Chains A and B, each alone.
Chain A
Amino acid sequence: MNIVVCIKQVPDTADIRINPETNTLMREGVPSIINPFDLNALEAGIQIREQTGGKVTVLTMGPPQAEAALREALSMGADEAVLLSDRAFAGSDTWATSYTLARAIDKIGADIIFCGKQAIDGDTAQVGPETAEFMGIPHIAYVRKIEEIKDNSIKVQRLMDEGYDVVESSIPVLLTVVKELNQPRMPSLKGKIAAKKAEIRKLGMADIDADENNLGLKGSPTQVKNIFAPETKAERKMIEGSPEEQVANLIEEFKKIKCL
């Protein structure tokens, strides 16, 4: 199987805040990491290669500094890495990003494409399904378990709100995965050394047969108008006293908010 894993380098978003006075972002010292769900995607790709043979290619779209994420993926066990980088891609929304990734994957060639279910900076969960659409192949989102792989088909469990669906798809297929799927491995020392020296293949606009009108800001239907801080919550209150008093107080509050 030829497997392509799409990864994204993201700020470790948890600590990003808006300064309410200046309405600007404060992100001092927030490190860049591989999007956590993408590590599960990579692990899934490597496991399939271990079962069926083949090759795992890790792909990211971003500036030259995204190479660090690719090298980390190589050290975990990916065979090859592709950096999709071009000024023409700047300002891409999910539509343009997906279009660009799809054209690149067409070039690389893949039987199964893995993506994380969403990136933790944007949380859109749109790039996986949209990429599949642009490639003209099916997708299954929220994969929690891979049950069976044959030459031409795959059977997986898809996480839903109240349980899971068992879904079968023809191959080629794109899968987006949730954390429950597996436990990503740690990079090995040997892997780290090899990753340092590995050559990273670079693809730009001219290499992927893309329509320029569909790339970057020009190709993006959505625009960010502005950003702002979320509303702050109402007052906070600590309920003191003995456990009995605390519970009695809380019951009163429940009644006030009509929860009881």
Chain B
Amino acid sequence: MPIVVKVETCTGCETCIESCPFDAIVMKDGKAYINEYCNACMTCLSVCPEGAIIEVKEPSPAADKKERDAKLQAYKGVFIFAEQREGVVVPVSYELLGSGRRLADELGTDLSAVLFGAGESEANELIRWGADRVFHCAHPDLNSFNDDTYTEVLAGIINEHKPAIVLAGATPVGRSFIPRVAARVRTGLTADCTSLEVDKETGNLLQIRPAFGGNIMATILCPDYRPQMATVRPRVMKRGEYDKDRTGELIQIESDNLNSRTKVLEFVKEASGISVNLHEADVIVAGGRGTGGEKGMKLLEELAEALGGVVGASRAAVDEGWVPYLHQVGQTGKTVNPKVYIACGISGAVQHLVGMQSSDIIIAINKNPDAPIFNVATYGIVGDMFEIVPLLTRKIKEAKGQ
């Protein structure tokens, strides 16, 4: 279904060229021409004043369609990949169960979780959070994450049980090995979704995700292949209901002869005392150039600690060497969406904003009233962070009765 320009209708007005997010339209002999960068995003169709840009649908013979539909029908059920770290299921897995349960109910099908490593108690916990069935592979080689072994076992389960939908967390683990799985089972994968819906007409999964650093949202479909696979951003989906009496089926998966070309030799935890898991934090206190150095960052650590949060940083603070890269928020760092993001001494370059603007509540503290950070702030305070932050920390501790 390529996008093409009807040469006879094109007036060469060049309106479409600016509209293309992928630089895929160029002028050729006075007419617009769509080249290899085209992602078929359809933007230009509505921009052209002459209606000269069209989508060419390739006719699919009826017999083919019937055969294809029958093939797709064989895929049923919603699967979620329940990631664990050091034997404990990570929070995003429960969010996937909440989202997966809703999709399964809407589609009138059931929900399965796939768990590698960890103990049976964690598997049962997945059932109480909404799974009808858990495929548990307790092979010791799966206790720590490894792309080769995880891909092999998950692709095997998908090929055998043919789910219609497979969801995983958009964590370093999910975003590393799930693409391999999708490539292996020959299906589409949508990265880092923030919303999932069922198309009422077709039953297809509508996968909604931000692109261009969150400036644009896109709805992605995988209509002709199964399963429909997506990684889901942590902290955006709601957990389901916990029911301690809920029962389900626990299926042990045997896997012998797991082969791997990569091997994890050790895991080294970030040295600083405070947690650095920015993806799963409710509160992030972030500092920029305005923190002036380690002394300023120390104040932010204290505030983060008082709020039970973690410390983030702008690129400027990381480049200055005040904070390790692991803490960097923004285009070349992490994309985060905590409940509360407190930006201190961060001016708000667009590269920073794209990494944090989807936070629920943004509080900006900055000396400069014209700093762009105030354009995205829910609450703005013009002032000196060296004065405000320690005071805030003290008042929070008082309010908490500490």
Contact = CB atoms under 8 A, between A and B. Distances in A.
A150 interface: no
Contacts of B399: 251, 254-255, 260
Nearest to B47: A24
A62 B325 CA distance: 31
25 contacts: A9-B23, A16-B21, A16-B215, A27-B20, A62-B36, A63-B26, A63-B37, A90-B38, A91-B39, A95-B188, A129-B176, A132-B180, A162-B270, A163-B269, A165-B265, A167-B265, A168-B265, A169-B261, A217-B40, A221-B186, A224-B40, A225-B220, A228-B219, A250-B363, A257-B361
Interface string B309-338: 000000000000000011010011101000
Contact of B267 (A9, A24, A163, A233): A163
B379 A15 contact: no
Contact of A229 (B24, B34, B217, B265): B217
Interface of B: 1-3, 18-24, 26, 34-43, 46-47, 58, 145, 147-148, 151, 171-173, 175-177, 179-180, 182-184, 186-192, 206, 210-225, 260-270, 275-280, 283, 307, 325-326, 328, 331-333, 335, 339-340, 350-351, 354, 357-358, 361-363, 374-384, 387-388, 391-392, 395-396, 399-400
Contacts of A170: 261-262
A86 interface: yes
A85 interface: yes
Interface of A: 9, 11, 13-18, 22-28, 32, 36-37, 61-65, 85-87, 89-91, 93-95, 98-99, 120-130, 132-134, 137-142, 144, 155, 157-170, 173, 178-180, 216-218, 220-230, 233-239, 243-244, 246-248, 250-251, 253-255, 257, 259-260
B117 to A, nearest CB: 15
A251 B147 contact: no
Given A144-B325, A222-B189, A260 B400 contact: yes
A144 to B, nearest CB: 7
Contacts of B219: 224-228
Contact of B183 (A17, A125, A133): A133
Contact of B350 (A15, A36, A180): A15
Nearest to A226: B219
B339 A259 contact: yes
A96 B279 CA distance: 29
Nearest to A253: B379
Q: What is the predominant secondary structure among interface residues of chain A facing chain B?
A: mixed
Contact of A121 (B3, B147, B211): B211
Nearest to A36: B332
Q: Please give me the 4 A-B residue pairs with the lowest Cβ-Cβ distance, nearest first.
A: A221-B188, A222-B188, A63-B35, A124-B191
Nearest to A170: B261
B43 A163 contact: no
Contact of B220 (A27, A61, A91, A223): A223
A218 to B, nearest CB: 8
B189 A90 contact: no
A14 B36 contact: no
Contacts of A121: 21-22, 211-212
Given A95-B189, A120-B213, A125-B191, A225 B221 contact: yes
Given A227-B217, A259-B283, A133 B37 contact: no
A169 B147 CA distance: 11
